[in-house]
Chain A
Amino acid sequence: MIPKDASDRVALMLTLVPYLLEHQYVKVSNAASHFGVQPEVIRNAIHVLLVSEHQDLATGQWTEDMFDIDWDAFEEDDEIALSAHGKIDDTPRFSTAELAALLTGLNYLASLPDHANNVLITNLFAKMRAAAGGNISDSKSIAMAAPPQSSSLPIARQAIEQKQTIEFEYVAADGNVSTRVVDPIKIDLIDDVWYLRAWCHTREELRNFRLERIRVAQLSSEPRDPRADSVQVSEWLIDRAETGEAVTLEVATPGIPLLGDFVADTDIPKTDPTTVTVSVVNAHSLKRIVTAHPHLIRILSGKESQRLTVEWAKAGLSRYE
C-alpha cells in the first residue's frame, strides 16, 4: 500500500511498533516488504516515532524517551532495533469496517467453486469471531449472493491446472459463432461475470472469453502452445495499447460502471453527465452496452460505433413491427 494520508501513516506506525518490538535488528527492506510499503515509508515512520514526545502532567517535563533505537545499526546497517517504554506492545484490534471488508470477502470466497469445502475458511471464521471481540455483530453489513454457475468452469479450471488445451464454440459480441482452440491461462471473476483468459490458437494471441458465451467445451487433441505459458496477462480485460476508433461518449454518473474497462477510473472527470473519449476496438461490445442503457450513455462522435448502435436498436425494434 501507499500511505495517502495521516490516517494511513498512523495506522502503519501503530502496527509497525509491535512488529519491531518482536523482531529486533530487522532490515528496513524486510520490514518494508513485510508491510507492503516502500523502505522510505518505514524510515519516515521510524523518524516520527523517535521524535514523538509528550509532556508529563505531573512534572511539566517533556519526555522524549518513548522509544529507543540502536542508532548505529539504523544509520549504518539500515537495521531497526527498537525498544519502547509505552504500553504499545500489541496489535490494535480490527475495526468493524475492517471486519466487514475481510469477513464479507471471506464469505464470498467460500461461495466460489475453488474454495468449496475449504476447511481453512471454516476455521478462519471462528478465529475471526474471537479476534473481533465484541465487534462482530456490528460488522455484518454486507451480504453477497454466490456468483452464477458456469458449466464451462470445471473444464477450464482443470485445463489451467494440468496445462491442457480445450476447444469450444464461442459466440462473439458481433454474433459470429466460431470454433476456438485455446490454452486456458487464468480465470477472472469480475462482479458477476466469469472471464477466461486464454491463448487462442487461431488468432495466435491472448484473448478474453466470457464463460457464459462458451458453448459446450471439451478437451482438444491439439498440443498446448508453449507461448501460453510465457505470455503476460494484464490485470485489465481491455488491452489499452490496442487502438481502435476514437469514440466520444456522454455518460451520466450511474452509467460509468456499465462501461467497465472501456474507461479507466482515473480518466473520469467529476461532472454529471461527463464526456469521455475512449478507443474502441470492439464496437459490437459497445453497441450492446449503449443499447441497454441509452438514457445513461450516448455516442457523441465515432461514426462506426454510432452506425452499429443505431442499426442494432432498429433491428431490435423491427421484431415488434
Chain B
Amino acid sequence: MPENVPPEQRLFTLVMTLLASEQGLLREQIYQCVPGYSSDAEPSALEKKFERDKDTLRSLGIPIDVQDSPDAPGDNTKQRYRIKKDEYDLPADIEFSSEEVSLLRLAGSIWREATISKAAATAFLKLGSMGVAVDEPVLSSAPKIHTREASFGPLEEAIRERKVVRFDYLKPGDATSMTRRITPFHLGFHEGRWHLYGYDHVREATRIFLLSRITSKVQKDKDLQPAPFPDDAGDEIISQLQDRYLQNVATVKVQSRSVAATTLRRRMSADEKGMLSNGEINDETAINVHYTDLTAFAEELAGFGPEVQVLSPPELQQAVIGLLKIAVARNGGAA
C-alpha cells in the first residue's frame, strides 16, 4: 500500500479510475483501488474525504455520475460512481484560434477576487490544454471588476446550483438586520455596485438586494423548495435598476466647475443639459439628476461636501445632512 499520497495524486487517480470503469464502482471498490483512501482510516473520515473529493472534481467541471442500485435506491453503499467520457470531454470539433483564446483570457482576467478569478484560472488551464499558442495577451488593458463582498461567491454558486439561501439583510432606515430566505436568480452590477435579484419566500415576491447590505454569512436553506427560475433574470435585474434610475429624480444646486459638477453631469437627461446656459452647470440654477438608490446616492452627495445642496426630495436632503453630521462627530469635530 503506497503511503503519503499527495491529494492531487488521489484526485487524479480517482478521475482515471472512474473514467476507466464501464459499469461504475462502489465506494468500497474506490477506496480499495485508489491510493490515498487509506483503509485504516476511520470510516466516517473516509466518507468525508470522498465527499470532498467529489465536490472538488465537480467544481472543476468533471461530471461524476451516480447510479442507485435497483434493489436499494438511496443506499449510498450500493451506489455506483463513474465518469462518462462523452460528458467529460470538451465537445469534439471545438477549436479556438489564438485571437479567440487571447480574448477569452482578457474576458476572464477582469475578475479581481478569489472565488470567481479561481474559476477563470482553471478555465485558462483548459484553454492551454487545447494547445493553441497565444501571443502575450494584452492583459494590461483588461477592465478590473471587484467583487469584494463576502456574499458574492456563495450567492453566485447558489444561483448556478439553483439553491435557496438565507442571510441577514440591513434595510436602510432599519435599526437591525432581518433574516431573508431567498431563491437567488441573478447578480447584477450597476453603477459600480453589486445587487442580487431573487425571490423572497417570506414576502412572496421578487426583490433586489444590495450585496453591501448583507450582514451575515450566506447559508444554504435546505427547508425550502427553490422558486421557479425566470429565463430572463439577467435582463430583468439590469432593466429594473435602470427603471428605478429613470424614475428617481433629485433637484440639487451644484457649485460650478467642481468635482460634483463634472461627476453629476452624466446623471442629467439630455433635455436637462440642453437647458443649461452655455452648457455649463452654474451655482445658481437648480438641476434635476437621476439616481437609483436613495441611500447610496445620499452617500455620493455627502462626499461632495459644500459642492452640492439638495433641494428635494426631502428624505434625500435629510439623509445627506445626517451623513455630514456623523462625519463631523466621528472625526473629532464638535457637532
On A, residues with C-beta under 8 Å from B are: 1, 6-16, 18-19, 22-23, 34-36, 48-49, 51-57, 66, 86-88, 90-103, 105-106, 108-109, 112, 114, 120-121, 123-124, 127-128, 130-131, 133, 135, 138-145, 147-149, 169, 171-173, 175, 177, 186-193, 212-215, 233, 253-254, 256-257, 287-295, 298-299, 306, 309-310, 312-320
Interface size on B (CB < 8 Å)? 122
In the bound complex, CA of A43 to CA of B305 (Å): 58
Residue of B whose beta carbon sits closest to that of A287: B305
Q: Is the CB of A309 within 8 A of B107?
A: no
CB distance from B88 to the nearest CB of A (A): 6
In the bound complex, CA of A272 to CA of B207 (Å): 28
Residue of A whose beta carbon sits closest to that of B301: A292
**Per-position 1/0 for B64-107, Cβ under 8 A of A:** 00000000000000000000010111110010100110011011
Residue of B whose beta carbon sits closest to that of A63: B33
Chain B, range 257-285, C-beta contacts under 8 Å to A: 257-259, 261-263, 265-266
Interface presence of B225 (CB below 8 A): no
Q: Which B residues are in CB contact (< 8 Å) with A108?
A: 107, 110, 143, 145
Q: A10-B11, A94-B90, A214-B262 are in contact. Are A288 and B304 (CB under 8 A)?
A: yes
Q: Is the CB of A193 within 8 A of B20?
A: no
Q: Is the CB of A213 within 8 A of B262?
A: yes
CB distance from B138 to the nearest CB of A (A): 10
Known contacts A15-B129, A291-B303, A316-B306; can you find 18 more A-B pairs with CB under 8 A? A1-B124, A6-B8, A7-B56, A8-B118, A16-B129, A19-B131, A48-B8, A94-B61, A106-B107, A108-B143, A127-B94, A128-B104, A144-B145, A144-B188, A171-B257, A186-B140, A187-B141, A314-B324
Partner of A318 from B34, B265, B306 at Cβ < 8 Å = B306
Residue of A whose beta carbon sits closest to that of B234: A143
Q: A127-B94, A290-B327 are in contact. Are A14 and B60 (CB under 8 A)?
A: yes
Residue of B whose beta carbon sits closest to that of A18: B129
Interface presence of B218 (CB below 8 A): no
Q: Is the CB of A92 within 8 A of B61?
A: yes
Q: Which B residues are in CB contact (< 8 Å) with A254?
A: 149, 212-213
Q: Is the CB of B125 within 8 A of A109?
A: no
In the bound complex, CA of A294 to CA of B91 (Å): 53
In the bound complex, CA of A34 to CA of B100 (Å): 16
Interface presence of B24 (CB below 8 A): no
Partner of B104 from A9, A54, A106, A310 at Cβ < 8 Å = A106
CB distance from A292 to the nearest CB of B (A): 3
Interface presence of B19 (CB below 8 A): yes
Q: Is the CB of A190 within 8 A of B323?
A: no
Chain B, range 13-48, C-beta contacts under 8 Å to A: 13, 15-17, 19-20, 25, 29, 32-35
Q: A214-B262, A292-B323 are in contact. Are A95 and B60 (CB under 8 A)?
A: yes
Q: Which A residues are in CB contact (< 8 Å) with B107?
A: 102-103, 105-106, 108-109
CB distance from A45 to the nearest CB of B (A): 8
Interface presence of B250 (CB below 8 A): no
Partner of A88 from B19, B233, B307 at Cβ < 8 Å = B19
* 5 A-B pairs with least C-beta separation: A95-B61, A292-B303, A192-B192, A105-B107, A310-B333
Interface presence of B156 (CB below 8 A): yes
CB distance from A174 to the nearest CB of B (A): 9
In the bound complex, CA of A140 to CA of B89 (Å): 21
Q: Which A residues are in CB contact (< 8 Å) with B237?
A: 143
Q: A10-B60, A15-B129, A55-B33 are in contact. Are A88 and B16 (CB under 8 A)?
A: yes
Chain A to chain B contacts (Cβ below 8 Å), 24 pairs: A10-B7, A10-B15, A15-B125, A19-B131, A95-B58, A95-B119, A95-B122, A96-B61, A97-B160, A101-B116, A101-B117, A103-B107, A109-B107, A141-B159, A145-B242, A148-B266, A149-B266, A189-B143, A212-B263, A288-B305, A291-B302, A292-B300, A306-B332, A316-B306
In the bound complex, CA of A100 to CA of B8 (Å): 25
Q: Which A residues are in CB contact (< 8 Å) with B141?
A: 114, 186-187
Q: A121-B103, A143-B188, A291-B305 are in contact. Are A7 and B59 (CB under 8 A)?
A: yes
Residue of A whose beta carbon sits closest to that of B190: A145
Q: Which B residues are in CB contact (< 8 Å) with A212?
A: 262-263, 265-266
Partner of B12 from A48, A90, A144, A253 at Cβ < 8 Å = A48
Q: A10-B11, A127-B96 are in contact. Are A66 and B119 (CB under 8 A)?
A: no
Interface presence of B120 (CB below 8 A): yes
Residue of B whose beta carbon sits closest to that of A138: B160
Q: Is the CB of B89 within 8 A of A93?
A: yes
Q: A6-B56, A91-B130 are in contact. Are A105 and B192 (CB under 8 A)?
A: no
Interface presence of B238 (CB below 8 A): yes
In the bound complex, CA of A39 to CA of B37 (Å): 30
Q: Is the CB of A143 within 8 A of B321?
A: no
Q: Is the CB of B111 within 8 A of A291?
A: no
In the bound complex, CA of A11 to CA of B259 (Å): 48
Partner of A310 from B233, B302, B332 at Cβ < 8 Å = B332
Partner of A54 from B16, B118, B145, B259 at Cβ < 8 Å = B16
Q: Is the CB of A53 within 8 A of B2?
A: yes
